[in-house]
Chains A and B, each alone.
Chain A
Amino acid sequence: MLKVNKVDTFYGKSQALWDVSLDIKEAEIVALIGANGAGKTTLLNTISGVLVPTSGTVEFIGQKIDGMAPHRIVGMGLSHIPEGRRLFVEMSVRENLEMGAYSSRAWKHRAETFEQVYKIFPILKERAGQLARTLSGGEQQMLAMGRGLMSRPKLCMFDEPSYGLAPRLLREVFEAIKSLREQGITILLIEQNVRNTLDISDRAYVLENGRIALEGKSQDLLKKELIKKSYLGL
């Protein structure tokens, strides 16, 4: 469904990704793990069109998307829920969700999508008229996820959805992600929380210094020495 093929990406003059390849099949949950600064967010930005790779290709449902503008990529059904939520804090919860449905395909069906998103995150319906900045951290994360779903995605990329959340909320976020897959949405997940992430994902890639260091089935990776030492603290 998503094929990243030998991608190099630069941030200004410094290279952030070297020869990165990644492959995601429909209805998979794939995890991307790695230390801070390893290039995880850069990779998501390269996929969603915020950054353009200097070499290599990105393909989504059989179409080349590297070099395409971000608004066209989300229009194809690839949703990017960015790091740090990036809500429009001076807009209401409802308006934030509307912005998620901005591309014309999603806009037409937005009434129906609103109902689906409110079903997953009922709190957002209660808070619909409030400004996004008045929400608690957990509610803000739900809004960021809900907004990402408003585009009616085929594939969702989550960048550290559990960041700054209490453990109780963390479980809710992971449950929500699992339920999305049951609805047929493919998922690429970045997480610091390596144990939980490997538990819910089918496969995982490990990024180190901008390169793929390891890949495989999540259950197998849990047993690898490198993972145990570097990421699970065992």
Chain B
Amino acid sequence: MFASILDIIIDGLFMGGIYALLAMGLSLQYGVARVLNVSHGEFIMVGAFLTLALHTGLGMNPILTLVIIGPIIFIVGYLLHRTLFSALLKSSPSTEVFEGKSLLATFGLLFIIQNVAVLIWGSATRSYSYLASPVEIAGAITSLNRMVTLGITIAIGLAFYIFLARSRMGKAIRAAAQDPATAGIMGVNINNVLALCFGFGLLMAGIAGVLYSMCFGFYTTMGLGFTIIAIIVVVLGGLGSIPGSFIGGFILGIVGQITNTFEAELTLAAYYFIFIVLLLVRPKGIMGK
């Protein structure tokens, strides 16, 4: 019994790490750049398939693919904002109008990315084996790739938190999240900061995709499920709170794992249950103000 509880916690933390990355990414896009990006989950899929291509095609170590896939996805995100979203922002009389327009635009992105992915990679579930050797922690059995994934997600979460808290750019991002117009008259290049946030957001989904592919099978239409999870975690953690998204990701990971142990079919229902209870009890989220 004790071992199985530990099993649940360890695997819950591992899934939680993936969710945390995904949600921090969405939080940057929605909390700062005000884009509720429903194509967010597509980038976990793209990250996974690019890793597969580099690993099986070129024989690259999946973890090392981060060095190539990370910058590519970041640049895609940055340019998407500099072109599409900044044009929408310019043509919108208010934030509300912009949010509506950009939501529709990301639906478009979702379908474009998914359809192109199906054309290239088909619709079968794909996987590869990497660091799959079992690891025993105090009687609980997990795998090395899951432990590596957990380690990397925690390291990225902490590093990003320190970046936001300490660096000049991190402070500009926090200021822009609170009041973009005032950040602008303080000397912050707002268009640049918003595009950076969008790029960082997609980057986190991409990293989650690389890590996810080491541990699970993946397929081209899996993105939307992850977007929904990311939205739940962002609200759970408190809209716009990066630490909230990080903690919320781990909470949802563990809840998912508990449900999964008893009745796998109910996992998504359990996520929504937590979500609704939280909206009733603490509508502003765990770290919301």
- Give the distance in Å from the alpha carbon of A100 to the alpha carbon of B183 in the complex: 9
From B171, B179, B182, B184, contact of A98 by CB (8 A): B171
Measured CB to CB, the nearest residue on chain A to B191 is A69
- Give the distance in Å from the alpha carbon of A75 to the alpha carbon of B186 in the complex: 9
Q: Are B185 and A99 in contact (CB under 8 A)?
A: no
Contacts of B183 in A (CB 8 A): 88, 99
- Give the distance in Å from the alpha carbon of A95 to the alpha carbon of B185 in the complex: 16
Known contacts A95-B171, A99-B172; decide if A106 and B182 are in contact (CB<8 Å).
Answer: no
In the complex, whether A62 has a CB less than 8 A from a CB of chain B is no
- Give the distance in Å from the alpha carbon of A48 to the alpha carbon of B93 in the complex: 19
Measured CB to CB, the nearest residue on chain B to A151 is B187
- Give the distance in Å from the alpha carbon of A80 to the alpha carbon of B184 in the complex: 10
Q: Are B186 and A100 in contact (CB under 8 A)?
A: yes
Smallest distance from the beta carbon of B240 to chain A beta carbons, Å?
Answer: 10
Smallest distance from the beta carbon of B175 to chain A beta carbons, Å?
Answer: 5
A-B contact pairs, 19 of them (CB 8 A): A12-B93, A49-B184, A50-B185, A70-B190, A71-B185, A71-B186, A71-B187, A73-B185, A74-B186, A75-B187, A88-B179, A88-B182, A88-B183, A90-B289, A91-B171, A91-B174, A98-B171, A99-B175, A99-B188
In the complex, whether B189 has a CB less than 8 A from a CB of chain A is yes
Give residues 5-23 of A contacting B (CB, 8 Å).
12
In the complex, whether A67 has a CB less than 8 A from a CB of chain B is no
Contacts of A90 in B (CB 8 A): 174, 178, 289
In the complex, whether B181 has a CB less than 8 A from a CB of chain A is yes
- Give the distance in Å from the alpha carbon of A98 to the alpha carbon of B183 in the complex: 11
How many inter-chain contacts with C-beta < 8 Å in the A-B complex?
70
Measured CB to CB, the nearest residue on chain A to B171 is A95
Smallest distance from the beta carbon of A169 to chain B beta carbons, Å?
Answer: 22
Q: Helix, strand, loop or mixed for chain B's interface?
A: helix
Q: Are B171 and A99 in contact (CB under 8 A)?
A: yes
Contacts of B174 in A (CB 8 A): 88, 90-91
- Give the distance in Å from the alpha carbon of A19 to the alpha carbon of B180 in the complex: 29
Give residues 61-116 of A contacting B (CB, 8 Å).
69-71, 73-75, 80, 82, 86, 88-91, 95, 98-103, 106-107
- Give the distance in Å from the alpha carbon of A95 to the alpha carbon of B93 in the complex: 30
Smallest distance from the beta carbon of A96 to chain B beta carbons, Å?
Answer: 8
Contact-residue size bin, chain A (C-beta under 8 Å from the other chain): 20 to 34
Contacts of A101 in B (CB 8 A): 187
Q: Are B182 and A102 in contact (CB under 8 A)?
A: no
Give residues 168-218 of A contacting B (CB, 8 Å).
none
Measured CB to CB, the nearest residue on chain B to A79 is B185
In the complex, whether A154 has a CB less than 8 A from a CB of chain B is no
Known contacts A50-B181, A89-B178; decide if A102 and B93 are in contact (CB<8 Å).
Answer: no
- Give the distance in Å from the alpha carbon of A69 to the alpha carbon of B181 in the complex: 11
10 A-B pairs with least C-beta separation: A103-B187, A102-B187, A70-B184, A86-B182, A74-B187, A71-B189, A80-B185, A71-B187, A70-B185, A99-B186
Contacts of A80 in B (CB 8 A): 185
Smallest distance from the beta carbon of B58 to chain A beta carbons, Å?
Answer: 41
Q: Are A82 and B185 in contact (CB under 8 A)?
A: yes
Known contacts A71-B187, A100-B186, A102-B187; decide if A107 and B175 are in contact (CB<8 Å).
Answer: no
